[in-house]
Each structure stands twice: as structure tokens, then as C-alpha cells.
């Protein structure tokens, strides 16, 4: 299994190394070449000096120390590290240079990153260094990201639930590349330009989210205050927001722990904790289904458009609350354990307003409750006892409409980013020759 990539290569050679899509000036030119990555570069594993605590330093002259957790999965470049180690650690780890590629051998394994700094690397990293002059570094980066390379890594990786790569598997990757350096650069430049667009639109998305976060901090009263700092003109001077217990306004109904034996190939989707995103439901490739008749047998757990669900375990990640409002696309689904459905008890509540308020109030409650712990779950009893402030129904509606309009902008921006990523993925499938079996 370790050298399965060689089998792919021999089959590919029989039909010729030619991608589906080629830039006009290179059509009809020589077929592409193929070499193992180990022949085009040096593959080296990182190392971890132990105990690491004795090597860490705050001295600016220390060596950059890159850990797996320091890197954003979606990044292309690595330009900083969280920590530094003493120069004496160098004999127990490995230093890599700007321009080298590195890959994790476990988490997000096979996903390459380009170093922009000199750094020592943790033993969870494998470096691709001394890259041959025959191949453009940026081209190689994108080839490793391609479906051909990622499929090879997935098939060749060792392990069961958690797969791992090693240096030998990486060395055996068959790299397909055009012999013309200009063609390599053209492919890399094309994909880089899409990455730049993704980055620009992602930054705009982050700016919209930050703008909304700042507004929400002003549109809802801060702790110990009875009015928000920012009110719409028609509600200024209208008095304090009314204080009530959370539990008198909202109840949280938890789902049920269905057994794997009850799952089916199709039917109604089971909404699990991993499907609760930041404001929206996120379905993935691991969707679990229950038989259609479960909607009758468990009618109290059926979720419909407009329902609000909350992650009850580890509800705050990336400094955001995992709470979601179901859309038409999520209807119907069934509530699983560790996920709660919010039930509103008063007709004076605007549900969209409460949804937005919870994203601030419940998050702050969870953060306070989790100080000194690993924030395992929400204590519903403790949450019910919290005091919460509400304005009049008309002011609730105004705030809800305003924040919803920003959410629509955020959703549209998310769709732009996802469309660009899908476009890039489609291009990569055509710009690189596919291995048989991919």
C-alpha cells in the first residue's frame, strides 16, 4: 500500500501524461514528465526537544518554533509562530528555510504549506526541501494539493480512524509536471490569482463579521447596564429594557441519542452537534439518516424551518457560539443528543431578536462558566437562572431586521468565497493529469 502511487504512475504512462485542460500556447507540446517526489526534493521529518518547556524562550533571538496547532488549515503561507525555542534546541529538532514546503503527518495530513520564515518544526511536520530546479516551487505546491496527490495520500496513509503519513509515503508520490518551465509557472500563476481573490473576499467576510460583532456589543446592554449604548432614534429616551429570568422566556429541549443500528441509507437527516455552525446549520459528507417514520414516532424532535438549535457540549469555539437557525434547506431534520432546541414561551418575543441576543448573552454566560475548566457543556439550570433584558416588541423587531440584513450580506459573501473555492477545485482537476483510480 505504501507505494501504491507507483502503480498509478505505470497505468498513467500508458495513456500519456496530458491534462484535460492546457493553455493554448502549450497545446500539442511534449507530454508531461513524472518523477517521485523523493527524486525532486529532500523529505525530512521534524523533531521535538523534550521536555519542550525547558527549551521555550521569550528571547527575541530565539528560534521560531512551529507547532501543528499554530497553522490555519486554510492558509497557504506560514509567516509566524506562537513560540520560540533556545538555540540549543537545534540539535534535537529540524530547521527549515523560507520557500520550503511542509506537511502535517496526521491532522489535515497531505495539506502543504509554504514557509515564509526560517523555523524549527515539531515532529508532526514533514518538510519538502532542496526542491529540484526541474520543478517550480509554487507549481509543486498546487500539485500536492491536487486531487491526484490527495487521493494517493488518502489511499496510502497508515492507520484506522486517524490516518498518518510518513516520509516514505511522501517520497513515493508520483509528481506529474510539464517539462516547460513556463507552463509550470502559468499553471501556478493561474491558481495563485484565484487564491488572491479568495483571500480578498475572505478578508471582506471577516470585516463584515467584525462589523456586526461591534454593532451587537452596542445594540444590547452591557453587563450591569439597563440600556444599550446604541439605540435607533425612535427609541431613544423610551426607558430601560425590562429584566426577566432567561428560564421564564426560553426553554431548551434536548435531543435523543439514537443508536447506529437505527440509522438508514436515506430518510430524514439527524442534526448532530457537528452540524451546528455559527448562525447556520452545516451539513457535511457524514450526514446520518433515520427512517422517515421516525418523524411520526419522534414528532417532538422534528426540526423545521425557523427553529433555533444550540450546541450543548463545547458550545463556544473560535470565540463564537455554536447556535443556528434552520432554513428551508434544513427542513425537516431530527434533533440528536447534546443539541438543544430553543422553545419560546412568550408571545412578546421576536424570535429573530432572541436568536441574535443569545449569540451574545449565551456566549458570555458560557465563557464565564468555563473559567478554569475545559467548558464541557452548558448547564441549562444555571442558564435558566440568569437575568436577561428585553426592549419593547417594536424595538426588538427593529434590531432583528437590522441584524438580519447584515446576516444576508455575510451569507452572500460566504457564497462568493465558496464559489471561488469550487471554481479553483474544478480547474485543478483539469489542469493536472488524473491518476487512474482517482
On the CB side of 124, CA atoms within 13 Å amount to: 14
Q: In whole angstroms, what is the distance from residue 120 CA to residue 45 CA?
A: 11
Q: Kindly tell me if the per-residue pLDDT of 1 is higher than 50.
A: no
Among positive and negative, which fits the CA dihedral 350, 353, 359, 361? negative
CB 135 within 8 A of CB 175: yes
For residue 372, pLDDT over 70 is answered with no
Calculate the average pLDDT of the chain: 89
pLDDT of residue 6: 35
Range 4-181: architecture per CATH: Alpha-Beta Complex (3.90)
- For the beta carbon of residue 392, count every other beta carbon within 10 angstroms: 14
Answer yes or no: is pLDDT of 249 > 80: yes
Higher pLDDT, 230 or 162: 230
Contact 392, 155 (CB under 8 A): no
Query: For 83-94, what is each residue's pLDDT tens digit?
Result: 999 999 988 999
Express each pLDDT in 40-49 by its tens digit.
Answer: 999 999 999 9
Other C-beta atoms closer than 10 Å to the C-beta of 216 total 18
CB 407 within 8 A of CB 280: no
* pLDDT tens digits along 170-183: 999 999 999 888 99
Question: What are the strands of the beta sheet with 323-325, ordered from one edge?
Answer: 250-254, 339-344, 308-311, 323-325
Report, as an integer, the average pLDDT of 196-206. Answer: 96
- Answer for the pair 35, 13: CB distance below 8 angstroms, yes or no: no
Q: How far apart are CA 294 and CA 296, in angstroms?
A: 5
What pTM does this model have? Answer: 0.82
Per-residue pLDDT tens over the stretch 144-167: 999 989 999 988 887 666 678 889
Residue 10 predicted with pLDDT over 60: no
Q: Mean pLDDT throughout 120-126?
A: 92
Q: Where residue 435 falls among pLDDT bands split at 50, 70, 90?
A: low
CA distance 394 to 400: 10
Peptide bond into 312 cis (omega under 30): no
Whether residue 190 contacts residue 138, with contact meaning beta carbons closer than 8 Å, is answered with no
**Topology alike, domains 4-181 and 242-390:** yes
**DSSP designation for 133:** T
For 242-390, which CATH superfamily applies? Answer: DNA methylase specificity domains (3.90.220.20)
Checking if the pLDDT of 13 tops 90, the result is: no
**Residue 63, pLDDT above cutoff 70:** yes
CA dihedral 102, 108, 110, 111 (to 10 degrees): -60
Alpha-carbon distance 171 to 96, whole Å?
A: 18
Inform me whether the pLDDT recorded for 8 exceeds 50.
no
pLDDT score at 344: 93
Cβ atoms of 361 and 328 closer than 8 Å: no
pLDDT of residue 429: 93
Q: What are the structural domain ranges in the chain?
A: 4-181, 242-390
Q: C-alpha angle with apex 267: 266 to 268, nearest 5 degrees?
A: 125
Is it the case that residue 79 has pLDDT exceeding 50? Answer: yes
- pLDDT for position 203: 96
pLDDT beyond 50 at 4: no
Predicted confidence band of residue 247 (pLDDT cuts 50, 70, 90): very high
- pLDDT at site 371: 57
The dihedrals phi and psi of 157, each to the nearest 5 degrees, come to -65, 145
Identify the three-state secondary structure at position 130. coil
Q: What integer pLDDT is reported at residue 436 of this predicted model?
A: 59
Q: Tell me, letter by letter, the H, E, C secondary structure of 20-70.
A: CCCCHHHCCCCCCEEEEHHHHCEEEECCCCCCHHHCEECCCCCEEEECHHH
Q: d(Cα 195, Cα 176) in Å, to the nearest integer? A: 22
Amino acid at each position: 500500500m505504501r507505494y501504491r502511487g507507483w502503480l498509478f504512475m505505470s497505468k498513467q504512462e500508458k495513456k500519456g501524461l496530458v491534462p484535460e485542460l492546457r493553455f493554448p500556447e502549450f497545446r500539442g507540446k511534449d507530454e508531461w514528465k513524472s518523477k517521485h517526489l523523493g527524486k525532486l526534493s529532500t523529505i525530512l521529518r521534524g523533531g521535538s526537544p523534550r521536555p519542550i518547556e525547558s527549551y521555550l524562550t521569550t528571547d527575541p533571538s530565539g528560534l521560531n518554533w512551529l507547532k501543528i496547532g499554530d497553522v490555519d488549515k486554510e492558509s497557504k503561507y506560514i509567516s509566524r509562530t506562537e513560540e520560540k525555542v533556545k538555540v540549543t534546541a537545534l540539535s534535537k529538532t529540524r530547521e527549515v528555510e523560507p520557500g520550503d514546503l511542509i506537511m502535517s503527518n496526521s491532522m489535515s495530513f497531505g495539506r502543504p504549506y509554504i514557509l515564509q520564515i526560517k523555523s524549527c518544526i515539531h515532529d508532526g511536520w514533514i518538510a519538502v526541501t532542496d526542491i529540484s530546479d526541474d520543478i517550480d516551487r509554487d507549481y509543486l505546491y498546487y500539485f500536492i494539493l491536487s486531487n491526484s496527490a490527495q487521493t494517493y495520500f488518502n489511499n496510502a496513509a497508515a492507520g484506522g480512524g486517524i490516518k498518518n503519513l510518513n516520509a516514505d509515503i511522501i517520497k513515493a508520490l508520483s509528481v506529474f509536471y510539464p517539462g516547460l518551465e513556463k507552463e509550470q509557472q502559468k499553471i501556478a500563476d493561474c491558481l495563485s490569482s484565484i487564491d488572491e481573490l479568495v483571500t480578498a473576499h475572505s478578508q471582506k467576510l471577516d470585516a463584515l463579521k467584525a462589523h456586526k460583532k461591534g454593532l451587537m456589543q452596542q445594540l444590547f446592554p452591557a453587563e450591569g447596564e439597563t440600556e444599550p449604548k446604541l439605540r435607533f432614534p425612535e427609541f431613544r429616551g423610551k426607558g430601560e429594557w425590562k429584566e426577566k429570568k432567561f428560564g421564564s422566556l426560553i426553554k431548551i429541549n434536548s435531543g435523543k441519542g439514537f443508536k447506529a443500528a437505527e440509522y438508514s441509507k436515506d430518510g430524514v437527516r439527524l442534526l448532530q452537534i457537528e452540524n451546528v455552525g455559527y448562525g447556520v446549520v452545516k451539513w457535511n459528507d457524514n450526514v446520518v439518516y433515520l427512517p422517515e417514520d421516525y418523524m411520526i414516532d419522534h414528532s417532538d424532535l422534528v426540526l423545521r424551518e425557523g427553529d433555533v438549535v444550540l450546541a450543548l457540549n463545547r458550545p463556544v469555539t473560535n470565540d463564537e457560539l455554536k447556535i443556528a437557525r434552520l432554513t428551508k434547506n434544513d427542513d425537516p431534520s431530527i434533533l440528536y443528543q447534546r443539541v438543544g432546541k430553543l422553545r419560546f414561551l412568550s408571545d412578546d418575543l421576536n424570535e429573530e431578536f432572541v436568536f441574535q441576543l443569545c449569540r451574545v448573552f449565551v456566549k458570555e454566560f458560557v465563557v464565564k462558566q468555563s473559567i478554569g475548566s475545559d467548558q464541557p457543556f452548558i448547564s441549562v439550570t444555571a442558564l435558566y437562572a440568569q437575568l436577561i433584558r428585553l426592549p419593547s416588541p417594536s424595538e426588538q423587531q427593529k434590531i432583528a431586521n437590522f441584524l438580519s440584513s447584515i446576516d444576508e450580506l455575510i451569507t452572500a459573501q460566504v457564497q462568493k468565497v465558496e464559489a471561488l473555492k469550487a471554481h479553483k477545485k474544478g480547474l485543478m482537476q483539469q489542469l493536472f493529469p488524473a491518476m487512474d483510480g482517482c
